């Protein structure tokens, strides 16, 4: 299984202006740095939570379907839409699977693609299935819950203040506990 980003988010969950206000910065001398810290902070939060915050396009590639009539589990959440499911035969020719052959349970804690009548086996042994989908809480920054946006601002501030490279044997600057506390309600719970 592999997962590839096909189109990134159109906006970030916080703007450079919001981050500068949080940091109490004036002027535009460090706008590029602040913008990169926002992207880095969003990626950190998304990885920690298994979430896509702002709508983005992804491709999930599988060698084979799960056994029996088991659903395909997506490695991130929430899934807004499946745009296509493609099977490849032994010659590499693509066949689109009609959308009435599967159901999407995209808002579940563990989103899944459920077969409607069973899966058709791909013809090639490796990367025979491609699922194109959109993931994300919403298309605009206001769709992202305020605690997550605040955690991103805290991370931006942390990394703005701690940008020196680490030397081997030196203590690292820990991410503030408040970030983890803000993100805790959005973590996937596994039993």
Taken as a whole, the chain contains a residue count of 191
Q: For the segment 118-156, what is each residue's pLDDT rounded down to a tens digit?
A: 899 999 989 999 999 999 999 999 999 999 999 999 999
Q: Give the confidence band of 90 by pLDDT, cuts at 50, 70, 90.
A: very high
Beta strands in 8-128 (DSSP E): 56-62, 72-73, 79-88, 94-96, 102-105, 112-115
Which domains does the chain carry?
Answer: 7-49+140-162+173-186 (1.10.3230), 56-135 (no CATH)
Angstrom CA distances, 71 to 64, 66, 112, 119, 174, stand at 12, 7, 6, 9, 39
Per-residue pLDDT at 179 exceeds 80: yes
Confidence at residue 171, expressed as pLDDT on a 0 to 100 scale: 67
């Amino acid at each position: 299984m592999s997962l590839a980003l096909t189109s990134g988010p159109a906006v970030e969950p916080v703007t450079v202006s919001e981050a500068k206000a949080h940091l109490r910065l004036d002027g535009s001398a460090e706008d590029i740095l602040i913008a990169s810290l926002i992207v880095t902070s969003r990626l950190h939060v998304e990885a920690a939570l298994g979430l896509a915050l702002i709508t983005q396009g992804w491709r999930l590639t599988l060698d084979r379907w799960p056994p029996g009539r088991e659903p395909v589990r997506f490695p991130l959440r929430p899934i807004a839409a499946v745009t296509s499911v493609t099977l490849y035969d032994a010659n590499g020719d693509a066949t689109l699977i009609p959308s009435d052959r599967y159901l999407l349970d995209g808002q579940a804690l563990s989103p899944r693609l459920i077969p409607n009548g069973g899966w058709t086996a791909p013809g090639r042994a490796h990367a025979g299935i491609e699922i194109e989908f959109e993931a994300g809480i919403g298309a605009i920054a206001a769709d992202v819950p305020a605690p997550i946006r605040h955690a991103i601002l805290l991370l931006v501030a942390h990394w703005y203040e701690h940008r020196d490279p680490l030397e081997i044997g030196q203590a690292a600057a820990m991410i503030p506990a408040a970030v983890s506390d803000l993100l805790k309600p959005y973590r996937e719970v596994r039993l």
